[in-house]
Amino acid sequence: PNPELDRDFTDTEIRAAALALSKNTAPGRDDITNRILRNLDDSSYDSITDLFNQVWATGQLPPDWKHATIILIPKPNKPTAIDNLRPISLTSCVGKLFEHAVLHRLNPYLESIGFFPPTLFGFRPKLSAQDVLLQLKEEVLDNLSTQTPRLVASLDIKGAFDNVSHNLILSNLALTNCGSRLYSYVQSFLSARTATIGFNSLRSTEVPVPDRGTPQGSVLSPILFNIALSQLPSQLSTIPHLHHAFYADDLTLWTVSGSLGAQQDSLQTALDITSKYLKSGDLICSPSKSAVMTIIRKHGRVPPPPPVSLFIDSQLLPQVTEMRILGFYLHHRSSAATQMQRLTKSAHQVLRMISRITNRRHGLKESDAIVLVQSLIISRILYALPYHCLTLQQLDRLNVILRKAYKQALGIPLYATTSRLLAMGVHNTIQEHIEAHLLSQRERLGQTPQGRHLLQALRYPLPTSYLTTAPLPPELRQRIVVAPIPRAMNPTLNKGRRQARARYIQRHYSRNDEVRYTDATPHPDHYAYTVAVVNASLQPQALASVCTSDTATAEEFAIALAIATSASEHSVILSDSQVALRRRFRDGRISPLSLRVLTTIPPDHMVDLVWTPGHELVAGNNRAHALAREHTYRATPTSSSSEPDPTPTPVPPTYSDTLAYFRASRLLYPPPHSRLTRQDSTDWRNLQANTFPCLARLHLFYPTRYTRTCPFCTSPATLAHVTWACT
């Protein structure tokens, strides 16, 4: 038994699961949609919670929850045939709501006990397919030798989700000590399922589904498949020289050390173990979709390594010179040519599409066109190319693609200078994108134990946000609510939005006696901050000094001090630090000093944390800032002081913030007003790019049609001349 997992569900859990549902999911046989479930009243949520708890106690699911309506959808540009029809299963939305509630309880439990091995990456929080690519880059592609080759094998499980044995799932689930209720629920969820199949208006009678595989389209299928494969990595970890990574039904094995014969033996042992384990779950590898490759650095004087012979299920794995792993094209010479070729082709298609829906006079506005560039071009670049060994020529080609895309989105000609484009602050170079992407990936990996295991295995330092913080206890985290923080609040670019937010804060909270305002100010000549807390009457509530060089830690300590010194049962704390609110309290990791302060608050104390723009119209925030400065030594440090500046401007760890930091550092030209038309916006950008049409510029393109000189004088008819200089 497991009391934590076996307890009844609360209406809060069901409501949270319902609000996370997608709105546009098609209903099952009962015609109940997710939109209906999201908009239930309180009494309906109480009733549906009682229904779920009844099912939870008995371990028997209603038949409608285990029925699938299968619809066959023709594949595009294919003739109508059985092989060209894609089956889509529509199941009960009520049943899937309960699956979400069960998943939200099961998944954190499995992660907390470390049930899944760190080499299992699919369908796990804070992990992605790009983490597998990071391993391949660091361990296979980087520092290739001309003498010692490296072997990589890619395995594909044939019909993995459709054929996995229920016995393997349930036997591995029993190892988790998940409790009798959850085990009975999963057992009933997998058994005695039915379906009807049809095409257009034709529909079959109800038929039983084979007693194997996980239901297509169900919420629990991914985690159940992970449970089925969970015991295989521990068997592979005993093989010398072998590395592996699993993502769903794609298994990647590689060796990086030892002679070619030793690596071949290690891989063959791994293939034998994998085949035996898969057969225990009624699964097999597909030899036609599996392959092996030898990777070595190219050198004219060194002969290529001999071919290797690897077998799985008595069938020879084909040896290839290029393989596709999770959308990543791996070449036997570590070349990125194929990835670049495919990306260039898709980028040109996107540029042609953008040219059809917007031009310099009509169509999409600048902001919408930029969103298209980011969604359709940059996202494809950053999926795989950061993990290739790119040459300087390839980096230049990528920068050219980005500049073309942004110039087209802005409506400026392609001959506009790069320096002018950079000064507009709308785009980043490919080097900045890759740096921000890899930085945010390491920051994300540092948030979970499995991610930190990967960072340590690759010899990356753990993020400072993890090393200098401690987890916020669940009982405290439940009582601290961080209100949503609005986007686009840059002090320079979004001055109007910040002022509107400040007016709202002042109007909404100025008469609330439970409000506290916080701020922190650095000492000019040593590593310390003064923190101040001000109450609703703008009177000092608390003052303290904290020894730290990190602004976020000081702001976070000020928030903790405000919570601890508040005597009300429900306090509201206003802070101007987005990092302290978003990256600390909302993510659940704060400094040990702040944690010690928070342990003194009463157990029934509820807290709302609200972000307010700093140094704007909020009187409480301005008072807290002034109070902190008053109690900080503000004199200029003497010249003999050798201490560095305690508050250097850090590069933010998140992807979007890092890119915004780079753009803001070179921003010279303001963006067009949001109410301008497309033509007015492009005229504004052409003025900034110095590409606005004038006689001198038109003469360069049409020398016989336009004269270079001003018609009223003999000076060159440049834009500056015809606008200001000519009299």
Q: Output the 3-class SS for 27-82.
A: CCCCCCCHHHHHCCCHHHHHHHHHHHHHHHHHCCCCHHHHEEEEEEEECCCCCCCH
Answer whether 213's CB lies under 8 Å from 164's CB: yes
Residue 128 lies in a domain: no
What are the residues whose beta carbons fall under 8 Å from the beta carbon of 60, sequence distance 6 or more?
188
Q: Are residues 572 and 703 in the same domain?
A: no
CA 700 to each of CA 509, 694, 696: distance values in angstroms, whole numbers, following the listed order:
61, 10, 7
Residue 633 confidence (pLDDT)? 66
Tokens of 137: 């880059």
Residue 212 DSSP symbol: -
Can you tell me the distance from the alpha carbon of 517 to that of 189, in angstroms, rounded to the nearest whole number? 51
* Torsion angles phi and psi, residue 686, rounded to 5: -70, -35
Residue 682 confidence (pLDDT) above 60 = yes
Residue 175 lies in a domain: yes
Q: Are residues 45 and 192 in the same domain?
A: yes
Residue 30 lies in a domain: yes
Residue 55 confidence (pLDDT) above 90 = yes
Task: Encode pLDDT of 488-532 as tens digits.
Answer: 888 877 888 999 999 999 999 988 888 999 999 998 777 889 999
Q: Are residues 670 and 709 in the same domain?
A: no
Residue 646 confidence (pLDDT)? 42
Residue 638 lies in a domain: no
Q: Are residues 323 and 343 in the same domain?
A: no
Task: Encode pLDDT of 354-381 as tens digits.
Answer: 999 988 788 888 989 999 999 999 999 9
Can you tell me the distance from the alpha carbon of 277 to that of 60, in angstroms, rounded to the nearest whole number? 31
CATH number of the domain at 253, please.
Answer: 3.30.70
CA 463 to each of CA 453, 455, 467, 473, 648: distance values in angstroms, whole numbers, following the listed order:
12, 9, 7, 21, 18
Residue 650 confidence (pLDDT)? 52
Q: Are residues 57 and 202 in the same domain?
A: yes
Last residue of a domain, one of 630, 655, 673: 630
Q: Is 690 left (phi over 0), alpha (psi -120 to 50) or beta?
A: left
Q: pTM of the prediction?
A: 0.82
pLDDT level of residue 42 (50, 70, 90 thresholds)? confident
The one-letter code for the residue type at 464 is: T
Residue 680 lies in a domain: yes
Residue 548 lies in a domain: yes
Residue 645 confidence (pLDDT)? 44
Residue 494 confidence (pLDDT)? 81
Q: Are residues 276 and 299 in the same domain?
A: yes
Q: Are residues 265 and 279 in the same domain?
A: yes
Answer whether 277's CB lies under 8 Å from 231's CB: yes
Q: Are residues 180 and 47 in the same domain?
A: yes
Residue 472 lies in a domain: yes
Q: How many residues does the chain have?
A: 727
Q: Are residues 674 and 701 in the same domain?
A: no
> Tokens 């969970």 belong to which residue?
230
Can you tell me the distance from the alpha carbon of 596 to that of 590, in angstroms, rounded to the nearest whole number? 10
Residue 346 confidence (pLDDT) above 90 = yes
Residue 289 DSSP symbol: G
What is the domain extent for residue 365?
337-463+664-689
| 3 state DSSP class of 611 | strand
Q: Are residues 352 and 325 in the same domain?
A: no
Average pLDDT over residues 173-193: 94
Task: Encode pLDDT of 228-268 as tens digits.
Answer: 999 999 999 999 999 999 999 999 999 998 899 999 999 99
Residue 643 confidence (pLDDT) above 50 = no
* Nearest to 541, CA basis, from 470, 624, 614, 468: 624
Say how many domains are in the chain.
5
Q: Are residues 411 and 502 in the same domain?
A: no
Q: Are residues 593 and 673 in the same domain?
A: no
Residue 257 lies in a domain: yes
